[in-house]
Amino acid sequence: MRQPSAGEALAAALSAEYAAIYAYGRIGVRLTGAARDAAHQAEAAHRRRRDALVVQLSTSGASVPPDRAGYALPYPVTDRTSALRLAVEVEERTAAHWRAALASTTGADRNQALAALIEYAVRATRWRKTAGVTPPTVAFPGRPT
């Protein structure tokens, strides 16, 4: 199987950022207090990374995948429990795209992918702790299970 180019890997990560932003719109409305604030901060972080990637891909001449009007969620988000479960899943899935980008990138792009992977792994751990999931950490963040 052919390894994707750096531009293709970053475009895939951008698509994951789009999906994460969409999901956080559904997550935040089911949370209150500090958890809701954390969801808003997470959504803002994904928006910043999305915006930076759009500029980066555009200026490098790489293909910028379009955002979609909606994304299929893996299950209905109807309460706090399902919102927290989805928040963990969103961070894990987005981390997986950035982990995959590590193999295709070098230099500053690789540093960017590693920073995103770390950020999302830490955020997934925080969501697991908020949800009361044990263990709160995973051995290899972003690695397919």
pLDDT in tens, 104-143: 999 999 999 999 999 999 999 999 999 999 988 888 787 7
Tokens in use for 56?
A: 């980066």
Residue 17 phi, psi (nearest 5): -65, -40
- For residues 50 and 18, the answer to whether their CB atoms sit within 8 Å is yes
| Torsion sign over Cα 17, 85, 89, 126 | positive
- Written as one letter, the residue type at 135 is P
| Tokens encoding 34 | 């500090």
115 three-state secondary structure: helix
**CA nearest neighbour of 123 among 137, 135, 110, 107:** 137
Cα 139 from chain centre: 18
d(CA 96, CA 27): 20
Amino acid at the residue 100: A
- Please determine, for residue 145, whether its predicted confidence score (pLDDT) is greater than 70: no
Residue 141 has what pLDDT? 82
